[in-house]
Amino acid sequence: MSNDVVIRFSDVSFEYENGKVILDEASFALRKGMKVALMGQNGAGKTSLFNLIMGTNKPSAGNIFIKEGETIACSQQVIPREQLTLTLREFFATYFKGEDYALDKKIKEVMEIVNLTLPVDKPLSAFSGGQQARLLMASALIQNPDVLMLDEPTNNLDYDGIGHLMTFLMAYEKTCIVISHDADFLNMFTDGVIYLDIFKHKIDQYVGDYYVVVEEIKAQIEKEIRKNAQYEKRIRDNKEKMNYFANKGGKMRIIAKKMRDEIEQMEEDKVDVRKEDKTIRKFVIPAQPDVVGNIITITSVGVMKNHQPTEKPVEIILKKNQHLLLKGPNGIGKTTGAKILDGIRVGYYRQDFSTLDFEETVYDTLIGAMQKQEEEKMRAVASGFLIGNNIMYSKVGSLSEGQKGLVAFAQLVLQEPGLLILDEPTNHINFRHIPVIAQALKNYKGAMIVVSHVDEFVEQVGITDELDLAK
C-alpha cells in the first residue's frame, strides 16, 4: 500500500436544498491501495458521499482533493430504469472509454471477472436482479479505474456470486471503497472503516478489519460514558459545595464563584458520546383475519434455461402459518403461476421496490396501505421503522434504498395481508435490523413465500416448505 493520498476531505460540509445535512466540516483521507468500508445508518448519506467523490454532488464548504490523474468508477445499487431497455453491449458502451473495436474483448474480460455469461444482444430487463447486480460491478470494472467504489455489491447475489466477488476483491490491488451492510463480507478484505455519523454529520476513520473496528468503537463508547459519569459526579459534588460557600457570604463567595467556573468548564469538557445506529423496534405483521382454506395454489413456475423462459410443473398449496422458501441460483426466474384465494390481500416486498410509487410521499404510501385510515396508528408504526417527520413528506423516490426498504416493511404491517411474497427482503437493510425482521416473519400467521440467498436469515424465518427451482 502506498503512502500517496488519493482522496482527502478537508472540513467538507454538504446539505441538500431541502435542508437535510449530510456532512458538517467532515474530514478523512485515503491512501493509494486502501480497501475500506463506508458505513453508517440507513439515510446517513453514504451514497451522497460517493457522489461527492464522483463530483456529481458539490460541497457547500471545505475542500475535496482527488489526486491528479486518478480515475474513479462507481457501481451503483440498481440499474437506472431508463437503461433497462439497452442491450448488454449498449450498456457497456456507455461506460467504456476505449475504441469501439476493443469493446467486445473488454466485455468478455469483465464478464469473466464477475463470473457471468450472457448474450450481448439481450436487453438488461431480460436479466435477473442478481445478474444485473453483477453487470453493475462489471460496468465499473470496464472503466479500469484507479479508485473502485461499490454500493451494496452483494445485494441480489447468490452464494457463488458473493464468493466470487470476495475472492476478486481480496486479490484487487487498487483503491476500493465499499458500502455494505454485510459484516462478514466486509471483514474478509477491508483494512479500514470510514464511518458516517448520522447524528453529528462527521466522518470517523478507523484502521483494522470490521470486527476489530466494532470492538474499538464499543470500547470508545464505554470510555466516554465512564468519563462523563466522573464529570457528572464531580459536578454534583461541586454544586453542593458551591451552594454551601455562597450562603456563607464574604470571602466564601469568591470560592463559590471559582467553583462555579470549574463546573462550567467540566460541563464543556463532557464529550458527546457517539450514538450507535438505531435499530427498528420489534414489530408484528398482522395477518388478514378470517382467512381459511388454501390461500395460494401453485401449479407451475417459470424458470430460465439458456436465457429462455420455461414452465416447470409443481404442486404447492399454502395455508395459514405455512412459509415457503423458493431456492435457486441467480438467473432462475422465481415468478409463479398461481391461483390466489379470492379476497386475499397480498403483501409484496420486491427487491427493486417496484410496488412503491416513487412519486408518492411516504405519508400517502403508508396511510394508503391501511384498510381503515388512522393517522395516529400509522405514525406509531412508522416511528418503529425509524420513519419520522424528517422524511414523512418526502417522495419515496428521494429516499435511500435502505429507507425504501423500511417503508416497504411498514407498509406490510399496515396492510395486514393474508399472503406475503418477499423477494430478497434483506437487500439494502442495515444488518442490525435483520434479526428483528426475521422474528416478525417467523411469527407471521398468514401464508408466506420468500426468496433469499442469506442462509442465516432463512434459518430464522420459520420455513415449513422448500421448492428448489434448480432441480
**CATH of residue 67:** 3.40.50.300
Domain that holds residue 32: 5-214
Lookup: cell for 373? 385510515
Q: Which tens digits make up the pLDDT trace of 329-353?
A: 654 445 556 788 889 999 999 888 8
Helices (H), 271-423: 362-367, 375-384, 389-392, 401-415
Residue 128 in contact with residue 423, Cβ under 8 Å?
A: no
The answer on 309 and 172 residing in a single domain is: no
Question: Whole-angstrom Cα distance, residue 302 to residue 416?
Answer: 28
* Number of folded domains that form the chain: 2
| 153 touches 133 (CB < 8 A) | yes
Q: Do 409 and 349 touch, CB atoms closer than 8 A?
A: yes
Residue 336, domain member (yes or no):
yes
pLDDT of residue 2: 57
Residue pair 364/3 in contact by the 8 Å Cβ criterion: no
Residue ranges of the chain with per-residue pLDDT less than 50: 331-333
**Is residue 432 domain-resident?**
yes
Question: Does residue 219 fall inside a structural domain?
Answer: no
Residue where a domain stops, chosen among 214, 232, 257: 214
Residue 278 lies in a domain: no
pLDDT for 331: 45
Residue 390's pLDDT is 84
In a shared domain, residues 106 and 201 = yes
The verdict on 210 and 115 lying in the same domain is yes
Residue 43 in any domain: the answer is yes
Residue 419: beta bridge partners?
A: 346, 447
Distances (CA, A) of 223 to 237, 263, 272: 21, 21, 12
